[in-house]
Amino acid sequence: MRQRLVVLISGAGSNLASLLENLPVTQIPADVVAVGSDTNAPGLQHAAGRGIPTFVVPWEEFSSRAEWGVALGDALAAHEPDLIILSGFMKLLPPELVSRFSPRILNTHPAYLPEFPGAHAVREALASGATETGASVIVVDEGVDTGQILAQRRVPVEPGDDEAALHARIKVVERELLLQVLENMTTAIGT
Ligand code: GAR
């Protein structure tokens, strides 16, 4: 049976765009059935342009993180996801929302976890003077980028790299790792 993926983004969604373009030409039995956001993210257009439903659960319309989490959980559940993929989703999920879908929430992260968790991983890797960083795909747990690591790969920091150049090379690796993880997971689910 084909797996239903719901992707959450907060920004440009370039990794989402890559997934939407490349997933259908793999043998992976999975489809992106909806894309959601905490804000009116420009990346939602990548989905809307392909006729994929989008939804926004605006953070600022709720009086607490927990209430926002319930609403986001209901919006996700409406699309009956087998897997939820955080792809540049920059809000921390409330623990109740994580446990509602755990262990079926994945996150892609632009660093070689547990190095450089959090929202500024590329900037912090550059500032540290590290000669290499990386990309990771993890299972989301209640911590900040502390969940089980499903795949990761090193990315060298090149002389003269700025944040944008390094992040662009890391994203290429993130996209490959996500497809690799989806292939492994959907094979495991299907057997
Ligand atoms: C990606 O590198 C993703 O891993 C990162 O945001 C970028 C989104 O780029 N996520 C985090 O840093 C989460 N801590 P995109 O909007 O161009 O796909």
87 Cβ inside 6 Å of ligand 1? yes
Alpha-carbon distance 127 to 36, whole Å? 32
CB atoms within 10 A of CB 101: 17
119 Cβ inside 6 Å of ligand 1? yes
Q: What pTM was estimated for this model as a whole?
A: 0.97
Tell me how far the alpha carbon of residue 122 lies from the centroid of ligand 1, in angstroms: 10
Alpha-carbon distance 29 to 73, whole Å? 24
Tell me how far the alpha carbon of residue 78 lies from the centroid of ligand 1, in angstroms: 25
- pLDDT value of residue 113: 98
Residues of the chain short of pLDDT 70, as ranges, are 189-191
12 Cβ inside 6 Å of ligand 1? yes
- Which residue lies with its CA nearest to atom 2 of ligand 1? 110
Tell me how far the alpha carbon of residue 133 lies from the centroid of ligand 1, in angstroms: 15
Q: Give me the residue label for tokens 């700025």.
A: 162
| Annotation marks residue 120 as catalytic | no
